[in-house]
């Protein structure tokens, strides 16, 4: 949970420099290799830039039974109270 669970003041450790922020006067260090760090990250999701193929998320509405979405929305609207947003005029003298 904390650094002191792994090392103590005065311990000699091998580190690598991850980044240097000269403007802020900071150096980011790591005790694990770059390969270990990358292996511990969750896999990246790839973007689908091909317009001809749709992603599973984009097509998921077809699998949810929403073929009659228009009718369902109209039915839902009948059950909801009406709301009208009008302009507010304030006279300042």
pLDDT tens-digit map of 27-86:
998 888 888 888 888 877 766 555 555 555 555 555 555 566 677 777 777 777 776 777
The Cα–Cα gap between 30 and 35 comes to: 12
Q: Tens of pLDDT along 1-42?
A: 788 888 899 999 888 898 999 999 999 988 888 888 888 888
- 12 phi, psi to nearest 5 deg: -95, 125
pTM of the predicted model, to two decimals?
0.37
């Amino acid at each position: 949970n904390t650094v002191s669970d792994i090392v103590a003041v005065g311990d000699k450790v091998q580190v690598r420099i991850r980044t240097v922020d000269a403007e802020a006067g900071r150096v980011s260090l790591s005790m694990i290799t770059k390969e270990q760090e990358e292996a511990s990250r969750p896999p990246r999701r790839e973007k689908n830039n091909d317009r001809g193929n749709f992603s599973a998320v984009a097509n998921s509405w077809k699998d949810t039974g929403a073929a009659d979405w228009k009718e369902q929305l109209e039915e839902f609207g009948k059950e909801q109270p009406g709301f009208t947003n009008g302009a507010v005029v304030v006279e300042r003298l």
